[in-house]
Amino acid sequence: MTPRAAPAVSGRPGAIDVAGSGHCCGDLGAGVGHWPACIRALAVDRAVVCRRFGHSVSVSRWSRASRRDGGDPALWLLLAGFAVLVMAYRQVLLHLKTRAMARDADPVKPTRDRMGETELERYARHIVLRELGGPGQQRLRKARVLVVGAGGLGAPALQYLAAAGVGTIGVIDDDVVENANLQRQVIHRDADIGKPKVFSAEAAMLAQNPFVTVRPYHRRLEAGMAAELCVDYDLVLDGTDNFDTRYLVNRAAVAAGIPLISGALSQWEGQLSVFDPARGTPCYQCIFPEAPAPGLAPSCAEAGVLGPLPGVVGAMMAVEAIKVLADAGAPLRSEMLIYDALWSETRKIALKARDDCPVCGENKED
């Protein structure tokens, strides 16, 4: 209710008529405190006049009277609000304390050989799979996988390996993130342009799953260290786009006796295979004995590549890695899967080892 300004009864300009509000200011000590706040707001810098008794009271006098009375609703509202804040703060503290006590009482604590409650919940959709289960997830958790290249194929493979809970993931690449990479290398962001790919990928993996360990190697894979590096891992994925590195990774994997999952892309088509000579399959060089002549196998930069295609093939490489590590199903050993995205076709071809392979054959080079 807003009182209407009335002609100054007391003859003082600016005085406000409050008698119409039904309140009496005859006894200031008892009555003024009950005036509506809107009247008091209007009374600022003015004299308040009671039409009934014809006297006026200054704001400062009214304020002193109100304090004496102790009945200011605004003050009580302020106190009530403060009390509500205190109670809410106590409730929050109690909730946090209860959560902390529940965590301390959690009977499932993570150890090297046992997943904690959060990990069990995170991997629940793996654990219910008959072919994986708890033991399969534990094998992933203890596994060490090296990914060569954090580009088109490496990006999705790294993301899914980390999300799936592969315990230790090494990634080696000497490139930095470039603008032209971001059409397909989805592990890197626009803000990562100029950063080494291995560090960008490491940050993305740890942000997605802090339960894995990432080992970034910001360097090119060289002949002098490839075999030594592979010995530290159970499996290697090759997503590089040059034949020299492919042959080098293959030799290192064969020397270390670990499987190699190799993927390749061109324009609309991708292919992948699991090379595992230690289990009687061909190696990469059995199938591709020599690098193609220059110009016959143009790179993605030269020939182009569909953006989602590395996502499809890189995710398939992660699938094969999980199958190999958990010993589930039938990985693509001695087989190559070819996916033609333009015509939506997949096909598999059988692969055979070559006795004269210089890497895994009878007369292999030492």
351 belongs to the binding site for Zn ion (CB under 5 A):
no
How is residue 101 written in tokens? 């006590």
Q: What residue ranges in 84-160 does DSSP mark as E strands?
A: 144-148
**Toward Zn ion, which CB reaches closer, 200 or 285?**
285
Tell me the C-alpha distance between 363 and 274, whole Å: 22
CA gap 350, 142 in Å, rounded: 31
For tokens 């006098």, name the residue: 61
Spatial distance between the Cα atoms of 318 and 259, rounded to a whole number of angstroms: 13
CB of 160 or CB of 247, closer to Zn ion: 247
At closest approach, how far in Å is the CB of 287 from Zn ion?
8
* Binding region for Zn ion (CB under 5 A) out of 32-40, 255-263, 300-308, 358-366: 358-366
- 104/366 with CB nearer Zn ion: 366
Does position 357 bind Zn ion by CB under 5 A?
yes
**Which one of 59-67, 110-118, 229-237, 351-359 is the stretch in contact with Zn ion (CB under 5 A)?**
351-359
Query: What is the total count of residues that contact Zn ion (CB under 5 A)?
Result: 6
SS3 13: coil
Q: Tell me the one-letter amino acid at 178.
A: E
In the complex, the smallest distance separating the C-beta of residue 277 from Zn ion, rounded to whole angstroms, is: 6
Residues 6+ apart with CB under 8 A from 346: 337, 338, 339, 340
Name the residue nearer to Zn ion (CB basis): 198 or 359: 359
Sheet holding 56-58, edge to edge: 16-17, 47-49, 56-58
Chain positions 273 to 312 lying near Zn ion, rule: CB under 5 A, are 283, 285-286
Structure tokens at 35: 């005036």
CB atoms within 10 A of CB 18: 26
Burial degree of 98 (CB within 10 A; 0-12, 13-18, 19+): exposed
Window of 31-39, 152-160, 308-316, 357-365 that interacts with Zn ion by CB under 5 A:
357-365
Q: Does the protein bind Zn ion through residue 186 (CB under 5 A)?
A: no
* Candidate ranges 10-18, 127-135, 193-201, 352-360; the one touching Zn ion (CB under 5 A): 352-360
Residue 338 CB, nearest distance to Zn ion (Å)?
A: 20
Q: Compute the least distance from the CB of residue 360 to Zn ion, in Å.
A: 3
Report, in Å, the least distance between residue 356 CB and Zn ion. Answer: 9
* Residues of the shown chain interacting with Zn ion in the complex, contacts defined by CB under 5 A: 283, 285-286, 357, 359-360
